[in-house]
Structure 1
Amino acid sequence: MHNWTRREVLALASALSLPAVAGCLGGLRTAPGATPGLLVSNLPRETNPDVSAGALREQVRANTDFALDLHRARVAAEPADNLFISPLSISLAMAMVWAGAKGETEAQIAETLHYAGEQADLHATFNALDLALEPSADAEKDAFRLDLVNAIWGQESYPFDDAFLDTLAVNYGAGLRTLDFVADPETSRETINDWVADQTEDRIEDLMPEGSITELTRLVATNAVYFKATWEHTFPKDATADTTFTALDGAETTVPMMRHEESFPYAEVDGTQILELPYVGDEASMVVVLPPEGEFTDFEAALDADRFHGLVDALEPREGTVRLPKFTFGSKVGLNKTLKELGMPDAFDHDLADFSGMVEPGTEERLAITDVVHQSFVAVDESGTEATAATGVVVGDESAPMDPFTFAANRPFLFAIRHRETGSVVFLGRVVDAAAAQ
C-alpha cells in the first residue's frame, strides 16, 4: 500500500436480505421504480443502554469465539490461502435478522454466533458495544477513524412487525428504508450497493452480486464499518528491505519486510510471540501472533477466545526490534455452507426457517436466508493499515525476560485488529504466503 485511498480507510459492510418463500403479498404497491422511502419507528435509539461491564466483556469474548470458529472453518476450506474477515460485521448484521427469528431458528443462530443472553439483553449489549467503539471526542480524525452504520431495506407496504422495527431502531439506530423489490429488484440492488459504496469510500462497489436480490426479497439488513488508522510508531520507509519469507508449504520467497526498533507491548508464552502495534490515539491496535517455527497449523487449530485473550493479557511494554512484511490482499467468499456446518441449517431451509418475528401476525409468507457473502481487503505498510470488507446475507422465502526482543514475522502469522478498551476483535486474518500478498 504505497498511497492511502481518498480517506485512507479500513471499511466494512455487511448485508442480509430476506426474500419470501410463499404466500400472499396483500396490498403491496408494484409501481415501477425503487426510490427508497423511510419507515421510522416512533422510538429513538437508546444512547445509554443499561448494560453492565461484565455483560459487555462476556459478549466480546463470545464474539471472539465466533471469530475463531469462522476462521477455522475458512482455513479448512482454504488451508493454503491468506485469509481476512470481519467477524464483528457478520455478528452485527446477523443480530438484526436474529431479532425476527423464532423457535429453533432463533436458537441455532444464537448458538452459532455465540450470542450471550436473551434477545433483549443481546441487542442492548450490541448497542453498548457499538457506542463504545465510537472514537473519543479528541481523536485525531486524520489519523484514526472508526464509524459503524446500520441500515434496513424493506419491501414497501410489506407488513413488518412494529416490535421488530422498534428493536432495530432502539439498538441499531436503523430505520427501515423502503424499496420495491417486487417491481424492480435490479434497481433495488443498485440502490443498496450504492449505499454500501458510499459508506466504504467506494472500496466495495458490488456487495450484493447480480441475482442476489429478486422479486421475492423482502428485507435487507446492512452494516458498514469505516476505519482509518495510522501507526502510533510509523515504520521508517528507508528501513524496509527485501527479506526471505517461508510460506506454510515451505516455499521461500523474497518480500519487502518493514523494520522498526521501538518500545511495543510484547510477550512470549510457551514459545509463541505476541506483538501489539498501536494506532494513533491508542484506541485500536493490531495484534500479531507468531507461533513457534513449524507449529503454526497446530497452534491455529487450537486457538480459542480464552487463549487469545490470555495472550493479549500477557503483553508488557518492551524495547525490541520488529520485522513485519508489507502485505495487501483481499477475498470474496460465500458463507452459506460454513454457517450451516457451524450449527444454523434451519435458517436456510424454506420449510424449517422461522423469521415470523419480522412480520405482523397472520402473514402467510415464510422467510429464509438464501445467500451469505463476505468480501474483504487489507493493506499494511509503513504508515498504517487500510482495509475494507463486506458481508451480504440474502434471506427470503507467563512473564518474558526484560532483555530487548526480536520479532521477525518471516513465517506464517495471525493478526487481529482490535478495539483496545473493549477488547473487541473487529478484523481477523492470517498471512501464510507473504509473496501472494504483494
Structure 2
Amino acid sequence: MYSTTLLFHPHTQALSFSSGKDVHADFQSLNADINSPSASYILKLANRLYGENTANFLPKFLAATQKYYKADMKAVDFIGAAEACRAEINGWVEQQTENKIKDLLKSGTVTPMTRLALVNAIYFKGNWMNRFDKANTKEMPFKLNQNESKPVQMMYQMKKLPYNFIDEHGLQILELPYVDEELSMFILLPEEAADGSDPLLKLEKELTQEKLDDWIKRENMDVHSEVLVHLPRFKLEEDYELNEPLSKLGMTDVFCSAKADLSGMNGEGGLFLSTVAHKAFVEVNEEGTEAAAATAGMVSFCMLREEHFTADHPFLFFIRHNKTKSILFLGRLSSPQ
C-alpha cells in the first residue's frame, strides 16, 4: 500500500487554474472498477482534503474532488496548531492502511503557512491463486551484486504459470495471478551482468509502456510449461519526497510561488505546492501480498518443458488490475528484508 500527501502554501500573486476533465472522469471510472464490492481481494483507496479553516475554497473545486475522487474536505487549524494537524493527518493515513503506513508527514512538513493538504492512501491485500507451500520455503542466498549476497527465506513452487523470455533484453517475465485473476503480480527478472553493471538500471532505461504491454500480453506468454519458481519473501517500506522527481518530469511551475497556477481551488490564487510526500509498504509471502497485494494448461502430447525462474538477484515487480490494465503498485527489489 502507499500514501501520498500534497501540501499547498500561499503566496502573494493571484493566478488562474485549469483542469483536464477527461483525467478526472477516467480516475472516477478506474476507482469504481478496482473498488468493486464483489472483488476477491481487499483494496481500499481513500482520498481526503485538509483545508485551513480560515481559508476559502471554491464550491466547484470541492464538489469536483468529491465527485471524482470521493475526497471530502476536513477543516483544520494549520495556522494555530500545525503539529496537531500533522498528527491528525498521519493518524488518518495509518487507519486507512491498516496501520502499515505510519508517520507519512515528517516533523516540519506541516507549518502555519500550510493552507491545504491533499492526502491519498491505498491498501491492498490479496491471496495467490497458487499459494506457496511454507514447507518448501528455505534459506538461500540473494545476490545483491557480483560481490555481495545475503541470506533470505526463498519460497518455491512448480506450476503452470504465464512466462515469457525476452531474448534481446535477457529478461524473464513471470505472472503470478491472485485469486480469480482480477489482479496479478508481474516480476521482471533480468539476467545478471557479467561486466558488473546494474542490469535493473539498464532495464529501467530501456523499458517503455509499449514494450511492457507487448511482453505481458497473455497470448505472447507461454502458459503450458511448468515453471520452477524461487521467489524471496520480502517486505519493502520506503518514503520519498517527490518534489525533485516531479520537477524533472516537467512539473516545475506548481512548486514556484511566482508561477503556480492554482486559483481554481480558491478563486484567488496565492497557492503553490510545497511538498509531495509519498510512503509505500509491500509485503510478499506464501499466502499472497499485502501492499499498501490454478488455471490448467491445455493437454499436450509432446514433452513438457520446464522453465526455471530463480529470483535470487534484483528484480522489478508490479501489481496490475487486469480488467483495466492499470498498474496499482510498482517496485524494485534490490535487498529483501
- TMscore range, shorter length: 0.7 to 0.9
Q: 1:316 to 1:420 in 2, by over 3 A?
A: farther
* Cα displacement (A) at 1:287: 0.3
**Deviations 1:302-342, CA, capped at 9 Å, x for gaps:** 11111111111123423221111111232222111221122
Give 5+ residue unaligned stretches, structure 2. 194-198, 293-302
The code of the aligned residue for 2:7 comes to S
Residue 180 of structure 2 aligns with an amino acid whose one-letter code is G
Paired residue secondary structure (1:337): helix
8 Å Cα contact 1:21/1:216 also seen in 2:
no
Asked if the contact 1:232–1:279 (Cα under 8 Å) also holds between the matched residues in 2, the reply is: yes
Is 1:260 aligned with 2:154? no
Cα pair 2:57 2:266 within 8 Å, conserved = yes
Mapped contact 2:3–2:280 kept (Cα < 8 A): no
Match of 2:32 among 91, 107, 131: 131
Give the structure with the higher percent strand: 2
2:246 aligns with one of 339, 354, 357: 339
Q: How does 1:226-305 map to 2 (within 5 A)?
A: 226-270=123-167, 271-294=170-193, 295-305=199-209
Question: Deviation per CA, 1:133-165, whole angstroms, max 9, x where unpaired?
Answer: 11352x34xxx2112111111122422112212
Q: CA deviation at 1:293?
A: 2.6
Alignment of 1:149-188 (within 5 A): 149-188=46-85
Instruction: Tell me which of the two structures has the higher relative contact order, counting C-alpha pairs closer than 8 angstroms and 6 or more residues apart.
Output: 1
Distance 1:126 1:175 in 2: 16
The secondary structure found in structure 2 opposite 1:216 is coil
What is aligned with 1:223? 120
Query: Which letter maps to 1:432?
Result: S
Q: CA 1:159/1:136 → structure 2, altered by over 3 Å: closer, same or farther? A: closer
Tell me how far apart the structure 2 counterparts of residues 156 and 384 of structure 1 sit (CA, whole Å): 43
After superposition, the Cα gap between the structure-2 partners of 1:264 and 1:160, relative to the gap in structure 1 and judged at 3 Å, is same
Deviation at 1:239, TM superposition (A): 1.0
Question: For 1:36-185, what aligned pairs fall within 5 Å after superposition?
Answer: 102=17, 119-135=20-36, 137=38, 139-140=39-40, 144-185=41-82
TM-score (norm 1): 0.68
Q: Which amino acid aligns with 2:28?
A: N
After superposition, the Cα gap between the structure-2 partners of 1:233 and 1:323, relative to the gap in structure 1 and judged at 3 Å, is same
Superposed CA deviations along residues 385-429 of structure 1, whole A, max 9, x for unmatched, are 1233xxxxxxxxxxxx96221111122211101111111111111
Structure 2 CA distance for partners of 1:101 and 1:167, relative to 1, 3 Å: farther
Q: The residue matched to 2:161 in structure 1 has which SS?
A: strand
Cα deviation, residue 265, structure 1: 1.3
**1:269 partner amino acid:** I
> In the aligned structure 2, how far is the partner of 1:323 from the partner of 1:342?
36
1:145-193 Cα shifts (integer Å, max 9, x gaps): 1121111111224221122122212211222111121222222222211
Letter in 1 for 2:313: R
> 1:169 & 1:331 partners in 2: Cα distance?
29
Q: Deviation at 1:366?
A: 1.2
Q: Could you tell me how far apart the structure 2 residues matched to 1:213 and 1:198 are?
A: 19
* Contact persistence 2:187–2:317 (CA under 8 A): yes
Contact conserved, 1:135 with 1:145, CA < 8 A, in 2?
no
Once the two structures are overlaid, the 10-residue window that deviates more, 226-235 or 156-165, is 156-165
Amino acid of the structure 2 residue aligned with 1:297: L
> For residues 385 and 216 of structure 1, what CA distance do their matches in structure 2 show?
39
CA gap of 1:353–1:191, structure 2 versus 1, over 3 A, is same
Distance 2:221 2:184 in 1: 13
* C-alpha contact (below 8 Å) 1:242/1:254 kept by paired residues: yes
Tell me the distance in 2 between the aligned counterparts of 1:258 and 1:423: 27
Q: Whole-Å Cα distance in 1 between the matches of residues 88 and 16 of structure 2?
A: 26
- Choose which of 294, 299, 313 in structure 2 pairs with 1:411: 313
Is the CA contact (8 Å cut-off) linking 1:181 and 1:217 kept in structure 2? yes
Structure with greater helix percent: 1
1:358 paired residue number: 265
Q: Secondary structure at the match of 2:216?
A: helix
8 A Cα contact 1:320 1:406, kept in partner? yes
Cα distance per residue 1:4-49 (max 9 Å; x no partner): xxxxxxx32222121212489xxxxxxxxxxxxxxxxxxxxxxxxx
Q: Once the two structures are aligned, what percentage of the paired residues are identical? A: 36
Q: Which residue of 1 aligns with 2:221?
A: 315
- Structure 1 distance, partners of 2:324, 2:16, is 28
In angstroms, what is the RMSD of aligned CA positions? 2.2
CA deviation after TM superposition for structure 1 residue 241, in Å: 1.9
Q: Which residue of 1 aligns with 2:299?
A: none
